[in-house]
Amino acid sequence: MIPATMKKFFLPILVLFLFIQCKNQPAIPTGLVVEKAMVVSAREEASKVGADIMANGGNAFDAMVGTQLALAVAYPRAGNIGGGGFMVYREADGAIGSLDFREKAPKSAHRDMYLDSLGSVIINMSTLGATSVGVPGSVAGILEVHKKFGKLPLAAIFEPVITMAENGVVVTAKQADMLAQYREVFTEVNSDSTKFGAVYKEGDIITYPKLAATLRTIVEKGKDGFYKGEIAQKLANFIQKNGGFVTEDDLASYDVVWRKPIAFNYKGLKIISMSPPSSGGVTMNQIFDMIAPFDIGTFGHNSEKTIQVFTEASRRAYADRNYYLGDPDFVDIPLDVLLKDSYLEDRMTDFSFDKATKSSDVSHGKVEIVESMETTHYSIVDEEGNAVSVTTTLNGNFGSKLYCDELGFFLNNEMDDFSSKAGVPNMFGLIGAEANNIQPEKRMLSSMTPTIVEKEGELWMVVGTPGGSTIITAVAQTILNAYEFDMSMQDAVNAPRFHHQWLPDIVTFEPEGFSTELKTSLKAKGYFINEERTPIIGKVDAIRVLADGSLEGGADKRGDDMAVGF
């Protein structure tokens, strides 16, 4: 028999010992595990195109080109050639980099282009139809990646996608719902005869012969095949005929930029993410630095204390995001200050577990949040160990809803990611400042956060998500789920998420996984929670490298997402 006094000491020590033991055990995978190479994307068809490219001798960069194009066919609400995006990569030897293929404002754009004579924002002008279209960057992006890193001939990468576009793709239940939801607006923006004015049911097959022809021209003529000549002429005419601003000259002038990614340490991890004009890397760096002094691993996953620390760090980071960040080619961003340890330590000095900080005490502003699931992310690892993390977007669902029937693709409404008027929220509820005002050929600020994580100097995770302003917090929580809370990749992706973005001063929770007691206790401390709004937050697609070098996929159960590999 153990004496009662010993029990008193022994039991807590045993519990702590078991907890530490358990935490040190690698999580048992619950997602697809493959030995060599994997793609995780929003559609099985697109993941398969990428995985097949690698099985046929291509590398992760070739697979990126194929997956990007396949998503334009299989997932047209966000997959695109009429939008833009960002890629973060880590080569097998550890070299890192990133590509900015974000859209640009047309040359005729100007700061007040979406304001009326009284200085008010004109409803829908930056969100719907041709007036909202920025100069697309995706085609230039994939061709640049192929030029720098590609192994297979471009034609071999394009061919399966062209075949897919010609043969068609099956409509999923989720896709049928989405198309039904937008059908009326497609005909309003385009015409009754537009392709997406038709009714598509689950199981129907949609073919894209016009897109297949556009892709053939690109493969034959390269970048000029899209940005100059016949396609550019048709595209510019089409946008202008519908009242938009993009000209042939804008298309001919478009180019991508290789940028140095944001890289920072969090405890035993090195996190590599996108630099401005994406706010993803900077904001995530700030959040991680502000939570690092807290041992959230012992607080527990989605516990009250973890939610408080994460929310308060997000509050402060988003306030900085909205004020300081914009296109670095146009504005000076004080990154040396924003990412400095002492600055971030200082930002958290007024944090207390006893009560919420008021967003109005952090800075100023007033907005309504409108979260959404647009944008799409895919993660790729190849057999050699090259990793590619890409988030790409049309901005809104199906972008501007403007569909170029002649060329076979949707056009973005990325101009809404600029701050049309300082202090007025965009469609994600984010308010912007001067740093993100509209200027000719400037790139609009983004929240896209394609990310790669190293652990002990080795590739550990490739991760990203759609979700507008919620992208940054969803990516950060997925990394924490795996690292601090020892979840498998699939469980880390599935786990319920919450979000806070400074303004509005509301913490948003997903429908499942957060108890009434937890919310009541947070409210008592002064957190504002709208219990009637419990949207889905993000749709994370990720890959984790396991101890034996095999790969575990995390394909978000919230969508049709799928991991495919070999």
Q: Which residues are annotated as a binding site for L-glutamate?
A: 102, 393-395, 417, 446-447, 468
In angstroms, give the least distance from the CB of 258 to ligand GLY: 19
**Tokens 């980099």, residue?**
97
- Is residue 446 close enough to count as binding ligand GLY by CB under 6 A? yes
Among 132, 308, 386, 447, binds ligand GLY (CB under 6 A): 447
Is residue 287 within 8 A of residue 339, CB to CB? The reply is no
DSSP letters spanning 175-243: HHHHHHHHHHHHHHHS-TTSGGGS---TT-EE--HHHHHHHHHHHHHTHHHHHSHHHHHHHHHHHHHTT
Among 425, 468, 504, 565, binds ligand GLY (CB under 6 A): 468
Catalytic status, residue 375: yes
Binding piece for ligand GLY, criterion CB under 6 A, among 195-203, 351-359, 444-452, 487-495: 444-452
Structure tokens given for 503: 């303004």
- Residue nearest to ligand GLY as judged by C-beta position: 446
Is residue 319 within 8 A of residue 502, CB to CB? The reply is yes
Q: b vs e for 182-216, b when ≥16 Cβ sit within 10 Å of the residue's Cβ?
A: bbeebbebbeeebbbbeebeeeeebbbebbbbbbb
Distance CA 182, CA 128 (A): 12
- Is residue 375 close enough to count as binding ligand GLY by CB under 6 A? yes
- Is residue 448 close enough to count as binding ligand GLY by CB under 6 A? yes
Binding piece for ligand GLY, criterion CB under 6 A, among 154-162, 382-390, 441-449, 475-483: 441-449
Distance CA 144, CA 536 (A): 34
Between 29 and 429, CB nearer to ligand GLY: 429
- Is residue 283 close enough to count as binding ligand GLY by CB under 6 A? no
Between 285 and 308, CB nearer to ligand GLY: 285
> Which helix (H) or strand (E) is 58 found in, with range?
none
- Is residue 100 close enough to count as binding ligand GLY by CB under 6 A? no
Between 395 and 400, CB nearer to ligand GLY: 395
Per the annotation, binding residues are 102, 393-395, 417, 446-447, 468
Distance CA 68, CA 37 (A): 17
Residue 313: is it exposed, middle or buried by C-beta count within 10 angstroms (0-12/13-18/19+)? buried
Task: Please identify which of the residues 127, 194, 214, 375 carries the catalytic annotation.
Answer: 375
Using CB under 6 A as the binding criterion, the count of chain residues that bind ligand GLY stands at 8
Distance CA 399, CA 510 (A): 25
Peptide bond into 277 cis (omega under 30): yes
Among 131, 175, 194, 393, binds ligand GLY (CB under 6 A): 393
Distance CA 145, CA 432 (A): 31
In angstroms, give the least distance from the CB of 77 to ligand GLY: 13
In angstroms, give the least distance from the CB of 132 to ligand GLY: 11
Strands (E) located in 33-183? 33-34, 38-41, 84-90, 96-101, 169-170
In angstroms, give the least distance from the CB of 118 to ligand GLY: 28
Between 466 and 504, CB nearer to ligand GLY: 466
Between 302 and 446, CB nearer to ligand GLY: 446
Phi-psi region of 489 (alpha: psi -120 to 50; beta: other; left: phi over 0): alpha
Binding piece for ligand GLY, criterion CB under 6 A, among 160-168, 284-292, 440-448, 483-491: 440-448
Between 146 and 500, CB nearer to ligand GLY: 500
Distance CA 366, CA 311 (A): 18
- Is residue 472 close enough to count as binding ligand GLY by CB under 6 A? no
In angstroms, give the least distance from the CB of 417 to ligand GLY: 5
Binding piece for ligand GLY, criterion CB under 6 A, among 54-62, 72-80, 219-227, 443-451: 443-451
In angstroms, give the least distance from the CB of 463 to ligand GLY: 16
Is beta strand 84-90 parallel, antiparallel or unpaired with respect to 387-393?
antiparallel
Binding piece for ligand GLY, criterion CB under 6 A, among 91-99, 130-138, 442-450, 493-501: 442-450
Is beta strand 551-555 parallel, antiparallel or unpaired with respect to 541-545?
antiparallel
- Is residue 141 close enough to count as binding ligand GLY by CB under 6 A? no
- Is residue 395 close enough to count as binding ligand GLY by CB under 6 A? yes
**Alpha helix positions (H), 325-458:** 335-338, 341-347, 359-362
Between 214 and 393, CB nearer to ligand GLY: 393
Between 408 and 468, CB nearer to ligand GLY: 468
- Is residue 133 close enough to count as binding ligand GLY by CB under 6 A? no
- Is residue 365 close enough to count as binding ligand GLY by CB under 6 A? no
- Residue 488 DSSP SS3: coil
Distance CA 408, CA 402 (A): 11
Among 100, 382, 417, 561, binds ligand GLY (CB under 6 A): 417
Q: 425: which strand partners?
A: 431
In angstroms, give the least distance from the CB of 448 to ligand GLY: 5
Residues that bind ligand GLY (CB under 6 A): 375, 393, 395, 417, 446-448, 468
Question: Which residues belong to the active site?
Answer: 375
